[in-house]
Structure 1
C-alpha cells in the first residue's frame, strides 16, 4: 500500500547504527517487493531476524485440485463445511479448507475458535474477509483488531497469527494470491494515491499504530512456500530462538491494513453498472469486487438485476455474506453460499428475477466476488459443499444425467 507510515522508534537516517535505550544494537530488516524495485518497509528488531535453530516439514491442509469437468455452474454451501465441534478445535492457519484454485489465486474457508500458530505465507499476499465474528490479527508490524465485514490485506512473508478471544469464533474467507494484492489500479494516481472518484480513500484504511513486543524463546513459525507439492506448494515449520514480535519500530509503505466493506461507497448509474465499478482490490490475473447495499438504476425502464452475460475471459466466484441477493432468488443460494460461474457458460438472473426486480430502487445485498482470468479448479472443500442442484436452477430442476 503506497502511502507512508511510521510506527515506534526508527533512526533519523536509514541503514545507520541504531541502538536501544540500553545501548544494544538493533537489527534493521528490509521487507520489500519486486527485488528492491517496489514498495518496502524497514523494521528494527531486537534480535537477528534470520536466526534459526530447527526446521521440519509441515504437511499443508489438502491442496489438491480437480477440474470442473464437465463444465457446470456450482453452488457451494460453506456453512456445511464445519460442525460446531470442529470449529471449536479449528484455527485460521492449519484448518482452512481449499475451495478453488489455480496458479494465480487460491480461495479457502474456515470457521475457527482457536488462536492460530505463527504463520508466514511466502507465496503471495493474502486478502482475508471476516464473514462473522472478531479476532486480533497480530503481526510483526503490530496488532490489528478485525471484526465482521473487515478485509485484512497481509503482505507476502509477513509473520502473523490470528488470535480468537476466549469464547468467541470467526468465519474467515481467504483469498491467497501468488502475487501482491492492492487497490484497483483505475482508482490510483501515477504516484499511488487513491483518486477522488475512487469508492474509498486512505482515511478508510486502518494500519498498525503501536509496536507489538513479545519475549519468548524457541518459537515455531508455520511457513507456506513454493515447492513440489500439490499446486506447487509446500510447508515448513521453523523454530526461531526468539519471538519474531521484537520490532521496536518500522517505517515505509509496505504493511498489513484493514478495510471494512461498510466504508465502500458504491458507484451507481442510470442503468445497470457492470462489475468493474464494484472493484476493491486486484492481484495478478484476478480482481476482488464487493456488492454492497445501494440505490439502483434510475432510468424509468431500467432492469436492476444483471443482464445475462458470458464470462469469456474469467471465472466469477460470488460469496454471499449478507442481505437478499435479488438475481439469485429461487436458486437456493443464501448467506454463506458461493456461486461458481465458470468461463464458457452464460449466466444471469434466475427465472422470474427480472420481473421481480422491476421498479426496485434499493438492493439490500452484501457479496464478495473474485473474478479470475484463468480457470479455477475445485478443491476438496468445493467437492464437499456442492449442492449438486444449481446447474439446473434455470430450468426448474430439469437435468439429463448422461453416462
Structure 2
C-alpha cells in the first residue's frame, strides 16, 4: 500500500494500552511485511489472535503443474471450465490454470454462497473480477467489489468472499507482495504525476467488521518443503474481532476503468500498460484507448520475442484487433512463452491501418520464469491455436 489509513478506534500512542468501554485490555497485533522492515498495520483485537484449538489438513484442489513441452503458444478457453455458468466456491472452487514458483493463476465462476474464511500465507493475492459483485469481508473490514475491480488482499489477511451475484474471478496468487511499479512512486511512496492511477482510485475498508463466534475455522494455504499445501485452523474466537487499526497495509480495490492509458504517435511497448508488480512477475491491463496517431502508424503490436519472460493475456471484453482469425475471444487466455516470437495474425496488420481506437479490455501477466499448465489449463486448451499464424499444423501440407 502507498498511503496511511486509520479505521475504527486506536490509542493515541502505538504499543500502549488500549481498552474497550468496559475496561478490558485489547490485544495489539502488528501485521508487517519483510521482517517488519516494510509496510505494516497495527490491529486491536477483542480476543487473542493466536488462540487456536485445532489443526487439520485441507486437501487443496489439484495443484499439479505440467511443463509447456514441447514448446508452443497456447490458447485456453476459460469459459469452458464451468459450463453450467456458476456455483463453485470462490476459494475452494478455484481451478489452477497456469503457474510457477513465483505466481499461480486460477479461475472460478461462483454462486452466491460465501466462501469459508481463508488466509493465503504464501503471498499476496490480486483477484480480477471479470464479472459480478459482492463483498470481501476481512479482518480489516468489508471491501465491496464489482466488475472490473482488482481486489488486492495482503498475505496472511483473514477474509472471505461473499458474492451478491454469480461472479467470474481471475485469481493471480503471488509468492511475494504486490504493489505499484516502483517507477510510479516517489522516494516516500506517493504515486507520481506520470502514474496511470493515483491514491484516490484505491478503495479500502471504511469501518471495522465485528463478528462473534467460537471454534471458527480458517482455511490456510501455505508452503512446506513439498510445495503448497492447505491447513484448516480452528480458532477459539472469531478472527473478525478487530475494533480498530491503522497503517499502510490493508486490502483494497482498484477498478480497471480508472486506469489512464498511456498512448503515443507510434505503438507503445507493454510496460506502459503496467498496473502492479510482484517478485519476478508484473500485471498489466489493456483498456479502451486512442491508438497510434502517426500517419503511417501500424496500431496492432509488432512481432516480438519475450526472451526473458512468458506472456499471459486474459481477454475480458471488446474486439481484439490483433487476434482476429486466431479463435481467441472473450474469456480466452493466450500463453506466449519465452523463446517464441509472437504477434498479430497476418491479416490483422493491414486491417488495423487507419484505426483510431481499440475497444478492448485485457489483463496481462508477464513472468520471468517459465509457466507450466495446471489441470484447468490442460482442460481448456484449443489445440489448433499454435498453428494459426501459418494456417496449417503438423501433418498438413501447404494448400
Q: Same fold (TM over 0.5)?
A: yes
Alignment partner of 1:234 out of 219, 229, 234: 229
User: For residue 13 of structure 2, what is the aligned residue in structure 1?
Assistant: 13
Offset at residue 159 of structure 1 (A): 0.2
User: For residue 318 of structure 1, what is the aligned residue in structure 2?
Assistant: 313
**1:386 lines up with 2:381 in the alignment:** yes
**Any residues of structure 2 matched to 1:57-72 within 5 Å, and which?**
57-72=57-72
CA contact (8 A) 1:327 1:354 kept: yes
User: For residue 171 of structure 2, what is the aligned residue in structure 1?
Assistant: 174
Q: How many residues of Structure 1 are paired with residues of Structure 2 in the alignment?
A: 395
The Cα offsets for residues 226-282 of structure 1, whole Å up to 9 and x where unpaired, read as 1144xx111100011111000000000000110000000000001000000000000
**Any residues of structure 2 matched to 1:310-389 within 5 Å, and which?**
310-389=305-384
User: For residue 221 of structure 1, what is the aligned residue in structure 2?
Assistant: 218
User: For residue 158 of structure 1, what is the aligned residue in structure 2?
Assistant: 157
Alignment partner of 2:264 out of 269, 286, 289: 269
The Cα offsets for residues 90-118 of structure 1, whole Å up to 9 and x where unpaired, read as 11111100011111000000001121000
User: For residue 293 of structure 1, what is the aligned residue in structure 2?
Assistant: 288
**1:251 lines up with 2:250 in the alignment:** no
User: For residue 104 of structure 2, what is the aligned residue in structure 1?
Assistant: 106
CA distance in 2 between partners of 1:196 and 1:164 (Å): 35
The Cα offsets for residues 33-91 of structure 1, whole Å up to 9 and x where unpaired, read as 00110000000000000000111000111100010011000000000001327x32x11
CA distance in 2 between partners of 1:106 and 1:58 (Å): 18
Offset at residue 192 of structure 1 (A): 0.7
Aligned Cα RMSD in Å? 0.9
CA contact (8 A) 1:228 1:234 kept: no
User: For residue 131 of structure 2, what is the aligned residue in structure 1?
Assistant: 132
CA contact (8 A) 2:2 2:191 kept: no
Offset at residue 398 of structure 1 (A): 3.2
Segments of structure 2 that go 5 or more residues without pairing to the other structure are none
CA distance in 2 between partners of 1:376 and 1:214 (Å): 40
CA distance in 2 between partners of 1:366 and 1:399 (Å): 33
CA distance in 2 between partners of 1:284 and 1:194 (Å): 20
Task: Provide TM-score, normalisation by structure 1.
Answer: 0.97
**1:201 lines up with 2:182 in the alignment:** no
Task: Provide TM-score, normalisation by structure 2.
Answer: 0.98
